[in-house]
């Protein structure tokens, strides 16, 4: 019976492959590469007639493609190639940006991005989930908020819910009705007259797709790889990210709150002085924290029996350092792509000491005793925020319009975070989403006949 099921499964895979090859030998008008949150935002804005002419390549393939090479002892690059990408585990963090920050983006998209951000703030209500837990939190959390403002400023964390749909859940990519999807990985793109021929891997087979438009939403590393192969970016470029560390504090608190599983951070903070600019969050013990502890200790440690104590006496923190400090380089050597890190690890110690010093100071004012602190220095890339490769210093033959179209290769658009060239420690996900929506609006208005 088991053998029969295996044979049937293999037959279904072969049948799907044959159907895909037959179907996509035909012309596709709109080809979207990548199936993460940027693609989801773009497709959500696209009108229904254009959706019917759209194919999405998800990025998934069973064949190993040796996409990038890097030192795994120093780097921890999380580049997802299944449907949804990194957005499937995104915590929905929302950061507010001002005009000066947006206009520091040197791409021509800045004005469009700022205009759409202003409109977004007027029309969309950001979900402040803190209020629903306010009376169930340890007292020192609310007391921290009440302290006077300083260069270490605490605030209630806000969550970006799915404003593209009617629910209040954190935004997660999903398949859009009338859009075609295919599992595959892009090998290369060739311009053929006014068309583009895209070679992709499906299972272990290679097929070619002819399209009029291409939208690059496959994540900063893969989009950069494609742009380098197209001779649009230099063979060695810098990719922005936010060096990251996390840690834990053991406190002596008189609070006796019953454990509440709050899987998201409770408070956020901004810290800025002449040398350091960073943003982070403070959180309580939760099932999510417990799963991380289990992973780090190979399942040997579980806090299930002491949840209430941990909830009231453990404070978890993290820190995202401004991307101006990042030194992550991506280069093509022969047929391989190499990722290298030049970040000074000693600086991480300095940042950690400064952040811990400020958190301790805030707690001591409240009379909360600190029994133990520990910072965890993660590998570079653990922040999972990769962006800004489409910057002037990386350009070779690239010229991008205010609508994210590559002007010297018309009808190719960049819709992921690679085009958000900004120096910040804030979460830039909303900026990428708004830019994708702007591209969708532009395509809807554009006469493509």
Domain edges within the chain: 14-123+171-235+385-445, 130-160+243-321+344-377
Beta-bridged to residue 320, according to DSSP, are: 244, 279
How does DSSP classify residue 68?
A: -
Nearest alpha carbon to residue 21 among 187, 191, 226, 184: 184
Residues in the chain: 449
Q: CATH for 14-123+171-235+385-445?
A: 3.50.50.60
Q: Phi then psi for 43, rounded to 5 degrees?
A: -70, -30
**Cα 192 off chain centre by:** 33
Q: Is the pTM here over 0.85, yes or no? A: yes
Task: Please give the Cα distance from 447 to 444 (Å, whole number).
Answer: 8
Task: Please give the Cα distance from 185 to 223 (Å, whole number).
Answer: 12
Task: Please give the Cα distance from 14 to 132 (Å, whole number).
Answer: 50
Work out the end-to-end distance of the chain between its first and last CA atoms, rounded to an integer number of angstroms. 54
**Cα 370 off chain centre by:** 34
Containing 291, the helix (H) or strand (E) segment is helix 287-296
pLDDT confidence of residue 273: 83
Per-residue pLDDT of the chain (449 residues; tens, 9 = 90+): 555 555 555 555 555 554 554 455 568 999 999 999 999 999 999 999 999 999 999 988 776 556 789 988 889 888 888 898 888 888 888 999 999 999 999 889 999 999 999 999 998 888 777 787 888 899 999 899 888 878 889 999 888 889 988 777 889 999 999 999 999 999 999 998 889 999 998 877 889 999 999 999 999 999 999 999 999 999 999 999 999 999 999 999 888 899 989 888 999 999 988 788 899 999 999 988 888 777 777 666 667 778 899 999 999 999 999 999 999 999 999 889 999 998 877 778 888 888 899 999 999 999 899 999 998 888 888 899 999 999 999 999 899 999 999 998 999 999 999 999 999 999 999 999 999 999 999 999 985 54
Cβ atoms within 10 Å, residue 142? 14
212, with CB counted inside 10 A (0-12, 13-18, 19+), is: middle
Task: Please give the Cα distance from 335 to 385 (Å, whole number).
Answer: 26
Whole-Å CA distances, 431 to 112, 221, 324, 418, 428: 11, 18, 18, 11, 5
Query: What's the half-sphere exposure (Cβ side, CA atoms, 13 Å) at 167?
Result: 4
Task: Please give the Cα distance from 264 to 249 (Å, whole number).
Answer: 17
Query: What's the half-sphere exposure (Cβ side, CA atoms, 13 Å) at 339?
Result: 28
Cβ atoms within 10 Å, residue 333? 10
Q: Phi then psi for 39, rounded to 5 degrees?
A: -65, -40
302-307: long-range contacts (C-beta < 8 A, 24 or more apart)? 307/259
């Amino acid at each position: 019976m088991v053998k029969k099921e295996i044979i049937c499964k293999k037959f279904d895979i072969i049948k799907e492959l044959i159907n895909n090859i037959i179907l996509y030998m035909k012309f596709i008008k709109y080809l979207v590469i990548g199936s993460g949150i940027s693609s989801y935002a773009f497709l959500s804005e696209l009108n229904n007639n254009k959706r019917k002419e759209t194919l999405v390549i998800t990025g998934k393939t069973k064949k190993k493609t040796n996409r990038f090479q890097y030192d795994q002892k120093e780097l921890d690059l999380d580049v997802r190639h299944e449907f949804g990408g990194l957005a499937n585990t995104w915590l929905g963090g929302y950061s507010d940006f001002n005009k000066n920050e947006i206009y520091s983006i040197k791409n021509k998209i800045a004005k469009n991005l700022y205009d759409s951000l202003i409109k977004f703030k007027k029309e969309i209500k950001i979900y402040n989930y803190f209020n629903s837990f306010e009376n169930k939190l340890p007292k020192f959390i609310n007391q921290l908020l009440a302290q006077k403002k300083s260069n270490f400023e605490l605030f209630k964390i806000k969550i970006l819910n799915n404003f593209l749909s009617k629910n209040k859940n954190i935004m997660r990519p999903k398949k859009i009705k009338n859009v075609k999807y295919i599992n595959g990985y892009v090998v290369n793109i060739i311009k053929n007259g006014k068309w583009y021929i895209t070679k992709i891997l499906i299972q272990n087979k290679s097929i070619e797709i002819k399209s009029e438009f291409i939208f690059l939403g496959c994540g900063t590393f893969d989009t950069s790889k494609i742009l380098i192969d197209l001779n649009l970016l230099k063979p060695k470029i810098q990719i922005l990210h936010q060096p990251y560390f996390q840690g834990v504090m053991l406190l002596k608190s008189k609070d006796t709150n019953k454990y509440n599983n709050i899987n998201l951070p409770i408070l956020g903070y901004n810290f800025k002085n002449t040398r350091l600019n960073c943003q982070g969050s403070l959180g309580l013990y939760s099932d999510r924290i417990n799963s991380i502890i289990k992973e780090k200790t190979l399942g040997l440690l579980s806090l299930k029996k002491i949840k209430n104590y941990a909830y009231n006496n453990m404070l978890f923190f993290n820190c995202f350092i401004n991307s101006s400090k990042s030194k992550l380089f991506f280069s093509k050597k022969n047929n391989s792509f190499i990722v290298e890190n030049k970040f000074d690890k000693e600086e991480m110690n300095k940042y950690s000491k400064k952040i811990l010093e400020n958190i301790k100071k805030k707690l001591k004012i409240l009379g909360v005793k600190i029994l133990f602190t520990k910072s965890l220095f993660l590998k570079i890339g653990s922040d999972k925020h990769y962006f800004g490769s489409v910057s002037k210093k990386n350009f070779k033959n690239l010229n991008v319009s205010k609508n994210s179209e590559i002007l010297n290769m018309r009808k190719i658009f960049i819709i992921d975070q690679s085009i958000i060239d900004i120096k910040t420690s804030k979460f830039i996900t909303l900026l990428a989403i708004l830019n994708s929506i702007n591209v969708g609006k532009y395509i809807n208005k554009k006469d493509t006949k």
